[in-house]
Structure 1
């Protein structure tokens, strides 16, 4: 009767009375059923977070309520701007429920100026000084006896900052034998993230170094101490340069209170703040809504497909900048998704139903039309999930060497295609070792499972629109059918056994679990390595994969190699989908070091290759002549420049530098 529904998984049934689901999925349901007839009550939790989907959903529901007077809508939050939300829905009543939080002592410990992060050469900030963080660990050791339970949760702004504190804290932990230091951020493997839920041995505390992922998304039992840096890294969008920027900001007072609250869940707690009380008073009361700082292409497309009219007049809770809306409308017109009257075109209607960026959606449609659906499905899926390459503070050269045979000289999307295809082969031949295969290559297998699920979703959407033919159900002999039936029955039994008896059992951490977690690897032995393994060491993720997918069909399409002419067409389709996102190399690149290669886009000068790009590690690929790709004579490449390559790119991201992310090289015309 109580179920959940997430992107690729659902426990919902006709008997379900209560269902937990994401805002994005509810918006997809509104697209299909505008009045949401299946619901009597909707509860939107954590509305103060102001995510893009959350704000859009509230606007959709506000328009729906007059047509559904029987529908009850409840908004929930611990740190909400009550006046703003109440007025938005017509001065609705407010219920304040006193929390059961334990008392929390706040200690302000501003970082002395001489220890604050200074600006070094070329205007880049120096590495974060970990000393103020170590002082808090020492203070806890000095004041609280080890037999008193209570772990420390540290909020830092990003992965680099976590790396700096991790190194110093691990050295301190090795010296005192009283701490297990664990990082927590979204680019870690799932097994490494899961370690934060495990229990330290007696007399030892966990020190969890986290981004704002632990502010509301994750609740970790046993936290008694919180250390708040007061900083967060957020994505902002520059509509002029079509550029995503990851920048560090001071948090809001609402976020500071959320972080403090993590210390008082299970008993009285202590919150150390590495800033002054006057800084706290100067913080903005609430965070900047995501809708005011990100690209709005997908939002405008979805709004149009739901028949909600002109996005400029949509009743947003707080409207986005008009420049962002105009940029989104212009971009969608340029991509052929909107016509001159700003109405959806047939391809725009299809793109609105694909849960991906417009450029990736266009690749999918073009791939289906040109008979290259299978490789395009894989490329689109791998580009739409988080990168499978694990981040670590100490890069492992063995992983890079093991990955090299999978790297494509044509670029990152084709490297991802090679990785996915090889992984499917490994799973179909010897499924038990696919986890080990990924670990040796520095890959997060969970991302490849996500890509496989997304690939299937894309495939079904293309079939629904008759851009792909239904899979032919080849008649097999009765023995094969019985064998397949027996296999599925056994997989269902394993899955039931896992859900009934296993779930996720908390393990007791060992002191050495905190010493090697920066590698991003999980050991098949103890520690966090067996997360997701059920009876007799069965990999439950592999069981789910086999239940969800036709492995034989996947194996067949991933084993077929592309001829040079089909590869040329595939690159053309990728570039057509990405157009006009092109970069040209600077004419002085030949005299620069590999890491200093510079490129220029139409809107941004002086961008560089992202460190994960195949061209960053092998820049000679960009200097080489483009060979005949159509399998013909030299005449077949006549008119192509031998002087430089163009780069088509999926996105522009600025952190400490502006980066080209996920690039494909194409020869320039003379």
Structure 2
């Protein structure tokens, strides 16, 4: 990508007050359900010819030589160079999958694992799930006997190590998109360093789209002699197909980047030559707002007789797959495409024809405050690395322009890279996994970026309170080990395991499954009132958990009908997914002999069971009109998407998570009794707190 072109100044869009409201998406780290699809400009060629057109093909023999001669190969390659789909095939063709061995490829995102596996299966003329397969949470599409190239999430790789600590079936493991530095990518990196010391034959490929390769190489290099010829790790760069990108900055900051995004888009459309536009925003609600504003302005422009039309398309994690795939559809020459996206468009997609990028300069990340023990989603300035990734989207198929909605001075102040998730997350799930893998002294674990000590202490305290660790910080039997086996937050796992004792395992299974799904309620921008009326039919005064239980039970009662979902503004695919997740969780409860029981419509056992898992997330209503956390008096508010919002506030509540915009908002909130906190978590709370 070309360096920023001098101090070029861009026009200053309007300065109306901020229009950013609370995001309504249940966002998982790294936009985990995003589709990863690469546009293929050589679709008319045979598959073999297509493979040979990719930049990585020229380095095929060099890659195989380095894998043969070094334990770890770090590959820097831009999105679209072919590393994800081709390198596993080169390894298979060179014999790395002989004698029953497997080449594994990890992805940070679930749907990335599925879509890349599908592409590789197509290229090999194989049925997906046979020679080429994938394994993600709640969905294993592999054949233990036949699968030789296996795509999986980094979290699933860590889970596999619970059964096979040395990963004996794998000959090569490729950690793809390692630059994203998700929690489980970093755990996998630390674990694989330990495995390599015991398995000199295991080869590791770390693939990254950014220039942090030296850190990965040095971390895995086991040569302590000072002689470079004895290095066990090496770096290789794959040049992508890139074109120069001119960068434009604002002369002064703007208070409302949504309005600026719309104005910038319309100005490009009216003044610039052909080329599609990609605009980056922070979340689903912002994307939908800007899409609506652009559609309105495009219609007004069409009425003035402008011949070139705009086709405006959203792109974010919670969007159904058919809607996501619309961004790749060709449009006539008389139409300019505008894609309004979250940061999933930074490295996960390459769309032909993007000539203009508009960068709002912000991103939504998960952040954990060990002082308050609150983990929340927060909008923060992007890093320089992310800003450059965004700009590079305009230079994939042609030279392009990037309009940054901030000043050059502000760009220089941005952090060099995004803080790894390991240093800004609640570490309870991490510590639980490491303990289950037999790593007792987690403080000495080889973290690529060590987490804050206070975060570790908070996590140990929570796991002790949940009964997962004993007073010596050892995993308890059987509870701790069982909590670790659930592919869920430890609080959900504890709630599920206790559900038999409360006589409501059927209801809790449904609630836990529903809480894993994004955006069950569909709110079309032009039908907000009708949607709200339908959604109120399911709402109960106890709060969001029982409301979600009502939605699912009504869905089942109406034979899981998509028509019924449409009439009630419910996410049909999300509810189908919830039923799949529920079945998987049910299998775990059967294995752990949790009794199958229903509370038969009595809400109290269900609410008490929720408290048994989520007691640490409790808050009390305060005379100021806000809630305050019980342990450290932190101010919280009920999220506008909650059924308890704008109702008479319950005195005590528990919640699933917190998101931060102008305030800290609790999401998925349920009313509880204070006596339940004392009864079910006496070790965590005491009378008078």
TM-score exceeds 0.5: yes
Among 503, 523, 529, the alignment partner of 1:371 is: 503
Q: CA RMSD in A?
A: 2.5
Mapping of residues 382-531 of structure 1, within 5 Å: 382-390=514-522, 393=525, 396-426=528-558, 428=559, 434-468=561-595
- Residues 60-79 of structure 1 aligned to structure 2 (within 5 Å): 60-79=191-210
- Secondary structure class of the residue paired with 2:635: coil
Contact persistence 1:244–1:654 (CA under 8 A): no
Greater per-residue helix proportion: 1
8 Å CA contact retained: 2:619, 2:627: no
Counterpart pick for 1:359 among 466, 484, 491: 491
Q: Give the aligned partner of residue 7 of structure 1.
A: 137
- For residues 635 and 411 of structure 2, the distance between their equivalents in structure 1, rounded to whole angstroms, comes to 37
Contact 2:653–2:672 (CA<8 Å) still a contact in 1? Answer: yes
- Does residue 596 of structure 2 align to residue 562 of structure 1? no
Shift of 1:362: 1.2
Q: Does 1:267 align with 2:387?
A: no
Cα separation, 1, equivalents of 2:467 and 2:293 = 53
Q: What is the distance in 1 between the residues matched to 2:593 and 2:363?
A: 45
Residues 1:248 and 1:652: Cα distance change in structure 2 (over 3 Å): closer
Normalized against structure 1, the TM-score is what? 0.74
Q: Which moved more, 1:22-31 or 1:659-668?
A: 659-668
Q: CA deviation at 1:160?
A: 4.8
SS in 2 for 1:569: helix
- Contact persistence 1:364–1:376 (CA under 8 A): yes
CA drift of 1:30 comes to 0.9
Counterparts of 1:167 and 1:385 in 2: how far apart (Å)?
25
Q: 1:656 aligns with which of 635, 658, 662?
A: 662
Q: Aligned in 2, Cα 1:139/1:406: closer, same or farther, shift over 3 Å?
A: closer
Whether the aligned pair in 1 keeps the contact of 2:503 and 2:605 (CA below 8 Å) is no
Q: Structure 1 residue 136: deviation in Å?
A: 4.5
Corresponding position of 2:375 = 244
Question: After superposition, what is the alpha-carbon deviation per residue over 1:605-625, rounded to whole angstroms, capped at 9, x for unaligned?
Answer: 4322111211114x14x5xxx
Partner of 2:622: 586
1:607 aligns with 2:643: no
The alpha carbon displacement at 1:322 in A equals 0.7
Deviations 1:453-477 (A, max 9, x none): 22111111122223357xxxxxxxx
Return the alpha-carbon distance in structure 2 between the equivalents of residues 173 and 206 of structure 1.
11
CA shift, 1:196, in A, is 2.4
1:51 and 1:97 mapped to 2: Cα distance? 22
8 Å Cα contact 2:379-2:660 kept in structure 1: no
TM-superposition CA deviations, 1:87-145 (whole Å, max 9, x none): 101154434334232312222131534xx11xxxxxxxxx545246523442354231x
What SS class does the counterpart of residue 76 from structure 1 fall into?
A: strand
The residue aligned with 1:524 is: none
Matched, 1:176 2:301: yes
Q: Aligned equivalents of 2:293 and 2:658: distance in 1?
A: 33
What is the number of equivalent residue pairs in this alignment? 529
Between the aligned partners of 1:11 and 1:583, the Cα distance in structure 2 is 42
3-state SS of paired residue (1:109): strand
| Alignment-derived partner of residue 291 in structure 2 | 166
The secondary structure found in structure 2 opposite 1:574 is: helix
Instruction: Please say if 1:305 is aligned against 2:439.
Output: no
Distance (Å, rounded) in 2 between the aligned partners of 1:83 and 1:129: 37
For 1:647, the equivalent position in structure 2 comes to 653
Show CA shifts across 1:578-629 (max 9, x none). Answer: 214322222465xxxxxxx645533234322111211114x14x5xxxxxxx
Q: Tell me whether 1:337 sits opposite 2:468 in the alignment.
A: yes
The residue that corresponds to 2:278 in the other structure is 153
Partner secondary structure for residue 234 of structure 2 = coil
Pair 1:129–1:89, CA change in 2 (3 A): closer
Which residue in the other structure is 2:213 paired with? Answer: 82
Aligned to 1:196: 327
Shift of 1:334: 1.5
Contact conserved, 2:249 with 2:408, CA < 8 A, in 1? no
Q: Cα offset for 1:189?
A: 4.5
Q: Counterparts of 1:65 and 1:47 in 2: how far apart (Å)? A: 18
C-alpha distance after superposition, 1:263-286 (max 9, x if no partner):
233333333333344443443322
In 2, Cα distance between equivalents of 1:195 and 1:99:
28
SS in 1 for 2:313: strand
**1:100 counterpart residue number:** 240
Cα offsets for 1:314-359 (capped at 9, x unmatched) = 1100101111011101111122110010001121111001111122
The partner residue of 1:575 within 600, 611, 628 is 611
What is the deviation of 1:656?
A: 1.6
Between 1:261-270 and 1:402-411, the stretch displaced more is 261-270
Q: Are the aligned partners of 2:257 and 2:405 in contact in 1 as well (CA < 8 Å)?
A: no
TM normalised by structure 2 equals 0.72
Over 3 Å counting, the alpha-carbon distance change for 1:326 and 1:354 in structure 2 is same
Within 5 Å, which residues of 2 pair with 1:9-88? 9-13=139-143, 14-88=145-219
Shift of 1:371: 3.3
Could you tell me whether the CA contact under 8 Å between 2:359 and 2:404 is conserved in 1?
Answer: yes
Q: Contact conserved, 1:188 with 1:391, CA < 8 A, in 2?
A: no
User: What's the CA shift for 1:227?
Assistant: 1.7
Does residue 271 of structure 2 align to residue 142 of structure 1?
yes
Give the Cα–Cα distance (whole angstroms) in 2 for the partners of residues 111 and 213 of structure 1. Answer: 28
Q: What whole-Å deviation, never above 9, does each CA across 1:46-71 have from its counterpart, x for those lacking one? A: 11111111011000000001111111
On the 8 A contact 2:521/2:535 being kept in 1, the answer is: no
SS at 1:101 equivalent:
coil
In 2: Cα distance, 1:156 partner to 1:96 partner: 33
Structure 1 distance, partners of 2:523, 2:342, is 14
In 2, the alpha carbon distance for the partners of 1:302 and 1:615 equals 35
What is the Cα deviation at residue 667 of structure 1?
3.8
Q: Which residue of 1 aligns with 2:54?
A: none
Counterpart of 1:607 in 2: which secondary structure? strand
Q: Post-superposition shift, 1:167?
A: 4.0
